[in-house]
Amino acid sequence: MAIKQVKNVADIPSSELDDWGPVPEPVSEQISHLRGRIINENPDGSEAGIWECTPGKWIRLVMDAEISSFVKGHALFHPEDGETIDIKSGDTVYFDHNSKGTWEVLETVRKAYLTFKRN
């Protein structure tokens, strides 16, 4: 069993995260840019890591179940079938598998996340 620790996740300079490029499906003129660090990957495609996103609006494409704890920033998530979720630093959000909707990042957000397969 491997135990990995990342200290002061909110304070890691963006330049020290991997550049994951622009979001694949933007829906605003301001195109969000992604950075992150994968901490652990599993053969089934599930993973744990740190994710950062700059302001903009885009379609969520991750269809795995996911739990995320936000350590900085401010965003809205507009689910296809529900009310808008206002997300700020200190919040934890669970997305069930196949959760569809639109991200609206108002202030650069950073989260620690775990995605996993759900049968």
**45, part of any domain:** yes
CA 115/CA 34 separation, integer angstroms:
17
Distance CA 105, CA 6 (A): 24
109 in a domain, yes or no?
A: yes
Identify the CATH number of the domain in which residue 105 sits.
2.60.120.10
| pLDDT above 90 (res 22) | yes
Q: Please check whether residue 70 lies inside any domain of the structure.
A: yes
Q: Which domain holds residue 42?
A: 17-116
Kindly state whether residue 1 falls inside one of the protein's structural domains: no
- Structural domains of the chain, count: 1
- Mean pLDDT (the chain) is 95
Task: Evaluate whether residue 42 is within a structural domain.
Answer: yes
Burial class (CB in 10 A: 0-12, 13-18, 19+), 52: buried
Model confidence pLDDT, tens digit, residues 60-76: 998 999 999 999 999 99
Amino acid at 22: P
Give the global pTM.
0.92
The answer to whether residue 6 sits within a structural domain is no
Q: Indicate the pLDDT class of residue 86, thresholds 50, 70 and 90.
A: very high
12 inside domain: no
In a domain, 11, yes or no: no
DSSP letter (8 states) at residue 14? G
Return d(Cα 73, Cα 89) in angstroms, integer: 6
Whether residue 1 is predicted with pLDDT greater than 70 in this model: the reply is no
